[in-house]
Each structure stands twice: as C-alpha cells, then as structure tokens.
Structure 1
C-alpha cells in the first residue's frame, strides 16, 4: 500500500477515516438510540428466523441436477419452465441453495420470499421461472424498504413498485431482497441494520455499493438478475467489483417508480437498472422487459419499443472514444491495464479506437455534485437515528457542503495557493468550492447549465463520429475495508459523470488484479508524476495495493447516447467478444 506521510486532504481528513456516529439536533433523529438498537436487533432476528425456516429446504450441497440447471441461460431457463421440463420449485430448490450459501459467505440478503415467489408464479410468460432479486430499495408489498436506515425497518410497505408487478406478470420468481449501506452513498456495503457485506472474491474488500448485496449474490450464483438502482455508480461499481454485468439506464427507459432513494427529486440523474451474472442474460432480460411495455406499468417510462442492434448486418464496426484520464483522478495501474486490454482487443478486431476529446469532465462534476446536494444533504440525514453509524464519506461531503462560505473560501484558497507544486490542487479546489446548499435560483441555474453541458457532450460525440465512450468505472480496484472515508465520494467521478449526462452506461469485466503486472514504478512517491497529483488522487493511491488486491475483478465502462440502451448492450457484447478473440476472456470464479 502506498504510504505518503505528507499527504493531507480536506475531504479525506474531516471526519476521520473510521466510521463515526453522527449527532444532530433531536428533530433530525427518527429513532432514539435505544429504539435504533432495538430496531436493528428486531430486523436481524427477522432475517435469522427466515434463514432458519428455509435451511431445511435449501441448506444443502449442490447436486449434478442443480449444476445443470445453474448452467442454463435466462432464455433456456424460461423455455424449460414454459415447456414443463422444469417447475418453479425446481428452480427455487437450486437457487435457494445458492442464496443461502451466498449469504453465509458474504452477508448479502435482507429478506427471503421463496414461498411468495411460488404462489405468484405465472407460467408461459417471457420470464417464467427466472429468479430475480431486488435491491432493498425496491418496494414490494408486505416487505421492508429501508434504504439502510433503522427508522425504516420493520415497517412493510403497502404496495409494490411497478417493476415488481411487471416481473410477476412476466412470470419471474422474485425470491430475495439484498443489502445496501446506510443512506446508499458509499463504496462499501455496511450498516448497523444489516451488518457488512463482503466481496466474494476477497472478504477484506467491498462488493461495491450501493447494490453491494446484489453484486455479491449474482457473483455467487444466487440469482439470474438483480433489480438495482444507480445514482452515481450504484449498479455499475458492484458489477465491476464482483465481476458481473450491469447497465445504468437512461432515465425513463426502465421502470423506476417505487424504487426508493436517499435523494428524491433528482430528475434524470438516478434510475433503476438491472444487473446480471452474464451479459447474455442481461441483454435478454432487457429485451423481455421492454417487450412487456413498461410504460403501461410506470407512466414515467417512455414508450420506446425494443430496437435490436446488429453491427455485422449494418456492415460496419462501431467507433470508440477512450477517456484514459478525466483530469481529476488518474486511474491506478490495474484499472488502466484493464482498459488497455479492451482497447487492444478492439483494435485487433479492426475497430477504430481514438482518444475522445469532449467537454471537461470536471465541469460536469461541478454541476452534478451541487445539484445532488442542493438541499445541503438534509434528505440523506433526516432518517438517521440517534447513534446510527453512517460512512465517513457521506459525513465529509455533507460537512463540506454546509461549511460557512468564508471558511470554505479559506480552505479553497489554501488548496490553491499553498499546494506544491502550484496548481496541483486546482481541480480538487473547484469541486470543494461547488459543494454548498442551493437556493431555488441556484438550482434553476444549475439545471440550465447541465442541459447546456449535455448538449455540448452530445455534439462532441457526433462531431467525432464516436458510437461509444470507453473508460474505467473507477480509478481504483475494489475498495478495501474502511477505505470509503479515504477515497471520498468525489472519486465516484468516472461513474457519476454519466448520471449527470443521463447516458446509458454498462460495465463489462475484463481481467483481475495481478500483483506482478500492476505494481507502481519504483520510488513512485518521489516521482514528478506523484508530485503533480492532487489530494483526491493521493488518497486513492494510498489505498492501492496490488499485492492484497491480487485476484480481484477489474472492468471497463461502455457509454452510449441517451435512450440507446440496445446499442450499449451490443457494444458490451462487442467488447466481450473481442476479449475472447484475443485469447484473454474474463472467466468468473465459481463460488
């Protein structure tokens, strides 16, 4: 791990990297400390009781029959259930075993609904017999939606989200719900309510967040598809960290009503989006959901039918624009190598791959972060109970946002004037400067600026003839335990940008961290490269350790234009096929 005793950063060190317990005026607490403790205990006991109830059915070894069923694709599984070769009980007998094993390994489940899944099963439908898990934030009647807060636990919701009704009408088996961190905004999946969810590849590392439970469950084979949400990488980072597949949708393309969030009201920034263990399954799921006409379930969905994309039949190969560095945080060697592998594989297949020259990503972030925190973070902090632990990255971000303007100006000026060499922290200072509660006039101005920024970005892609942007999902491989406070939420930059742009963005795993290939150059801290790093970069590199990270998944991110989900999914296929053709396919570990 890179050590730099001289490294200091405002956001990194306020508060300390250890998780802390927030205190706030009493009206902000939804529960007293005693009630918070009791609510957590009650929820944990409810989960334990469900696990005990289903253990006689599912706490068993995987048989050859189970293994054969698990190898079926989503399409083949639905067909086998439709033609009677398999029953929904057969499916849940197998996937139930994987769910319980996954939970034992990673602590990924918050609710088990196997009995209800069987009762609501609909035969001869597009998703008949396909097990689909729900992130905690997805409403399903009679079950909790907590967003990781104890104040929302043990309070079952009274109605289901439209996507849940669509899934049931399509014949899917909605069988479990999965863990999230407190308040969602984190790179780790931990809460007082559910405990810590770990990465199945290495328990000392995060499975990503906020859909960390879903990423871990998919990697362990406990579900075909997870219904996730994404406000700044919440579906893509768990996909990248756990070696699975996910695509953030454009707002309005996937049913999002009834999918709760920590920051409601962010139009065209947050969306519900699916994840899957395989790319073929993700693509098939998307197609079948869209063909169910989701706009008839959720009025916020746009009535765009499924439009198949086939570059071969079009007689062309897509053009790729690469973002190697967004100007805020330089990707670590492992993440850069993962991106280089994809670029080399595409070029070997005759694709045109160029460096993308678009609007400054930092400009987009200075618009998107204040929009997200326009209320000063009150929507995030309001449900917090007395004594409830929340990750230090949220605390640091909210503390910074609420600093008095004179104090913030002093901090920003110190970063600009006293950083050595001069200018080293200018980009970092710009981001800190933009974090503040907004007036109605400020928010309206930001809304205008974000549309202007989106227009320029779309124009740049058109002018350069680029079909896809290719970049990293994060500058760091999977986050080490307790690393979120050091990394800060500003390091979600490579994902969050595409929430701001409202572009579909998918993640394809490419390789694994290698403790020989991914080392930093000798004496890196004393190099001129490191000397120019801003404090956000130095924080990320202080967490980078290819030795302890060896064997963890790495991924690339494929981004397309708004409402081009079908095209992005096909672009993901192009990348995966190119990697296979180059002799370097990504092979998931079997848990």
Structure 2
C-alpha cells in the first residue's frame, strides 16, 4: 500500500510540474509568434555590442528578454528543453532593481541547468521527490549573474540521476536533439545544448564526466569545462550530494565562441570567490589569453584514441579536418602516447560510484523511470558478487575481453578504506599526467569529445561506459573546450565494409551498436581542445585560433526559424 501511494504521489507531482510549465508558457502572450527584424538583429549581434547598447540606453533589457524568451518558447516546442520558466519573474527583476544594468552582462538573458538554485523556483533534477524544494534565496550563480547584469530567464532539462549523455526524466519528459528528434541532445546538460543550438545565447551547466562537453558535441554548440575552483559551485541541487571522488564542476555553454570567451571573462571578472567559498581567488589573466592568441607556432599533441573505443569515421574526419587547417597555418602536430586513458576510466567509474549507486537511488519514488545508462550501472552493482565474479571470468577468459572484464571485476560498493585507496590512486594518476605533459611539452591536446556523434534515445543502455574521452579529463581536472567542426555525412562517414563489431571489446561494441552514418546524417561533430589545470584563458584563445584556421570550412550554426 505504501508503494502504491508513493507511485500515485509521483504521478501527481509530475503532472503538476508539467501543467505549471505549460500554464506559464501560455501566459507569455508577448513571447509567441514569428521573429521580428529586431529579434533577428539581437540574435545576430555580438554580445559586447548588445551590452554597450544597454549601457547607453539604446536598447532596453526587456527587448532582449522578449527576444530570447521567444527563442526559448520556440526551442521548447521543438525539443522539450525547458523546465522552470522564469520569464514573468525576470520581467519584474529588470524593473525592481534586482539586476545591475551597469554590469558587464547588462541585459543578457542566461539560461540555467535545472540544478542551479533560483529563489522561488524548484530545482528538481528530474526527481518527483524534489518537487516543491524551491529555495527562498538565489544561489551564488544566480547572485553573480544578477550583479553582472544578466537575466536568468529559464531552466533546462537534464537526465534523472545526472549520469547520462541523454536528458530524460518523468517530471519533465524527454528532451530531443535539435538536428534530429530521434537522437539525444546530450547530457546531463542536454536541455541547455538544445536551447543554445536553436538560438539561445548563454547557458550554465555542470560536468562530472563530460556533461557540458557531450551536449556541445551532440548538439553543435560551444562549451568550456573549467577546472575545479575556477567557477562557482555552491547553491545547487544534485543527485549525488557528497560525491567528491570525481568533483563536478559548473561551466559555461554558448551558441558562439565569441560569447563563450566574453561570458567566461565577465564571470571571472565578477570575483566569484566573493560569492562562493569553493572558488580560487584567481583573476582573469589577459596576458595568457594574448600569448596564445598571437603565438606563431603551436606544438599540438593529437590523442587519436582512448584505447577503449576507437573514434567513429565521423569523429576521425573532424579531427583530420582540424589537423589540415592547423598544419596549413604552420603548426606542428605530434603523435602522443599519454598515461593510460583506460586506467582513468576504471578509476573514475569506481570513484564516482563508490557508494554502490545508493545515493542517486535514494531519491527515487516507487515506479519512477530510471535512465537506462544509470540503470545498467545499478544492475551490475546489485549483481551478487559470486555471480559477478563468474561473469568476470567468462568475459576475461572465454570472450577474452580484458577491457570489459577490468571494468566489471571491482564494480561493487566500496568501504571507506577502499575509497581512500582509490583517491590515492587518483592522485598518483594525476602525477603521471603532470610528469608526462612536462616531458612531451605540447601546447595543448586535440582529441575527439566522444567516440560517436549523438546517441539515439535510450542508447545509453549500451553506451554508458563509452565516455572515456571526456571522463579522463575530469579525473585529472584539466581545462577542456569543445567546439563543433562538421556534420555527419552519410557517404563520407560510413563504416568500412569489413568492419566487424564482434571483434571489439564490450565497451566499444555498446558504442558501435548505435553508430549509423546514414541515420546520423546531419548531426554535429565536434573536437575537444585540452589544456592543463586552470588554463581557461589559454584554451579559449586556442579555440579561437582553430576557428580562424578553419576559415570558410568552419561549422555552420543551425538557422533560426
């Protein structure tokens, strides 16, 4: 009886939030209809020009809000990307003095991952048990944004548990890819990516294994994975409170690279360490930005594979096109052999789930849908250890798959003693990378952001472990940027005729079950630029150099309807 009542409450809370969202959108009478000439002008103007016009009084913040509110409504109709719709409240913030319209982001609407706390609005994380958890006050992110002049106006969809490259939950429904509705926009910050691809300006997400980078790659936008301590972290809801084995970081996402740089510079310039104790008092360093904006010759290390899942033809082509552009500019490409990325995948997976998946499961109600990727992790965690060991022996010695066997072998809840040992191994691994980079002496790494383009819906059941290209750099805490380069081409990106999926390890098989160049035709494909820890200025400057090197071959953004 208790379970039945729990399920009934779950269904009621989901229906309540969906009805509330629909009612708020219906009430936005001035935010429906086609884009006007002014709307298109605002969407296409550089951010700095918009801010200057607000400062000068030539442009009113309400005009910016109405344009981007209209963008959000249209994007939601297409992809189901929104959760909390705060536009009506934002109209009041503009007029009541809540927003500093003299700041460096004056009048710029900014969307937020659903997890970020805004006073008076829920942060559900897709759990129905979190419905009604609205904080009284804004969290640090929201306070900084308002003090900088930005307008928080919508929150966006994500996967329940936050442990997926998809963005689906019972509370808000399924978010779809803006290029192809049969595919995921990415996760866990997928709603942001869908909105930004369809004309949104700036968003903030979080990343624990690639959660701002996979959405950028899947949806065709730009993102920066900041190192821990460079960006505010406080004032949010999460599925895994207390998880610090692989710390989650909040980071920016944008439609354009210029916006990504401007926004990051502006946020760091707001001295976020005065808002959030977790932020290092490290000001923006323009001299580093300038150094890499003008450096004549880069030495670039290309990581062609993580040794677990070789990149698909589409992702190989994106790397190769970038290489060609960089060589044309006179830069040096270096083949590298870094410390084992597979070791990082093993360590990171165990650290992230050292609790036996108990914490993220503790928030579920009876009958609540679980992400298929997270469900797979939980299934193997719950498998009795004697049975799991037999399975491990079969995988290792019968299937002869050392990769999958190595991931399964120790997949169980850890004691405090075991957790401390894992953290010690993490620090040893970080030291290996530190020493290796010093020896190889490259300016940055160029890698795929993922082995494949976007996954089809519910594909994470098969591809849950295929996250090594991003997860690796969470473990070592390096600064990474992802930028779109091309689109999947059904002719150029086919698998070879002799491709045999059965010869792959279990992780790679899961990823390649989902790869179909014809079905994926037109999906975005990105690249990942990796710097060392706390090198945000450098990575952004290098991304700009790459975009300039690509020239007319650079990625074309989605048209705004």
TM over 0.5: yes
Q: 1:213 aligns with which of 191, 210, 213?
A: 191
- 1:229-248 mapped onto 2 (5 Å cutoff): 229-248=206-225
Q: Distance in 2 between matches of 1:132 and 1:514?
A: 33
| 2:424 match | 448
| 1:252 match | 229
| 1:514 match | 489
Distance 1:467 1:30, change over 3 A: farther
Deviation of 1:548 (Å):
1.0
Query: Per the alignment, in what secondary structure is the counterpart of residue 43 of structure 1?
Result: helix
Q: Deviations over 1:180-227 (max 9, x none)?
A: 1111111221111111111111111110011111001101113x2111
| TM-score, normalised relative to structure 2 | 0.96
Distance 1:499 1:353, change over 3 A: same
| 2:54 match | 81
Q: Deviations over 1:309-328 (max 9, x none)?
A: 12467644232111111111
Deviation of 1:30 (Å):
12
Unaligned 5+ runs, structure 1: 1-24
Q: Distance in 2 between matches of 1:130 and 1:356?
A: 41
Deviation of 1:121 (Å):
2.8
**In terms of mean alpha carbon deviation, does 313-322 or 544-553 score higher?**
313-322
Q: Are 2:466 and 1:466 equivalent residues in the alignment?
A: no
Q: Distance in 2 between matches of 1:30 and 1:235?
A: 37
Query: Per the alignment, in what secondary structure is the counterpart of residue 543 of structure 1?
Result: coil
Q: 2:139 aligns with which of 147, 153, 161?
A: 161
Q: Distance in 1 between matches of 2:460 and 2:291?
A: 40
- 1:19-98 mapped onto 2 (5 Å cutoff): 32-54=6-28, 56-98=29-71
Distance 1:132 1:31, change over 3 A: farther
Q: Distance in 2 between matches of 1:205 and 1:331?
A: 19
Q: Deviations over 1:246-287 (max 9, x none)?
A: 011111100011133222223352101110000110111011
**In terms of mean alpha carbon deviation, does 242-251 or 568-577 score higher?**
568-577
Considering Cα pairs closer than 8 Å and 6+ residues apart, tell me whether 1 or 2 has the greater RCO: 1
Runs of 4+ in 1 over 4 A off after TM superposition: 312-315
Q: 1:152 aligns with which of 115, 121, 130?
A: 130
Distance 1:246 1:189, change over 3 A: same
| 1:298 match | 276
- 8 Å CA contact 2:206–2:212 kept in 1: the answer is yes
Q: 1:129 aligns with which of 107, 122, 126?
A: 107
Q: Deviations over 1:457-511 (max 9, x none)?
A: 0111111011211111111111112211122x21111111111111111101000
- 8 Å CA contact 1:357–1:460 kept in 2: the answer is no
Q: Deviations over 1:72-106 (max 9, x none)?
A: 12211111111111001111121111111111111
| TM-score, normalised relative to structure 1 | 0.91
- 8 Å CA contact 1:328–1:428 kept in 2: the answer is no
- 8 Å CA contact 1:331–1:474 kept in 2: the answer is yes
Q: Distance in 1 between matches of 2:305 and 2:5?
A: 44
Q: 1:533 aligns with which of 501, 504, 507?
A: 504
Q: 1:389 aligns with which of 343, 358, 369?
A: 369
Deviation of 1:303 (Å):
0.5
- 8 Å CA contact 2:494–2:517 kept in 1: the answer is yes
Q: Distance in 2 between matches of 1:531 and 1:132?
A: 46
Q: Are 2:474 and 1:494 equivalent residues in the alignment?
A: no
Distance 1:313 1:368, change over 3 A: closer
Query: Per the alignment, in what secondary structure is the counterpart of residue 548 of structure 1?
Result: coil
Query: Per the alignment, in what secondary structure is the counterpart of residue 544 of structure 1?
Result: coil
Q: Are 2:261 and 1:283 equivalent residues in the alignment?
A: yes
| 1:174 match | 152
Q: Distance in 2 between matches of 1:311 and 1:208?
A: 33
| 1:553 match | 524
| 1:348 match | 328
Unaligned 5+ runs, structure 2: none
Equivalenced residue count is 552
| 2:397 match | 417
Q: 2:548 aligns with which of 574, 577, 581?
A: 577
CA RMSD of aligned residues (A): 1.6
Q: Distance in 1 between matches of 2:101 and 2:372?
A: 47
Q: Distance in 1 between matches of 2:420 and 2:5?
A: 34
Q: Deviations over 1:514-540 (max 9, x none)?
A: 001001111422xxxx45311221221
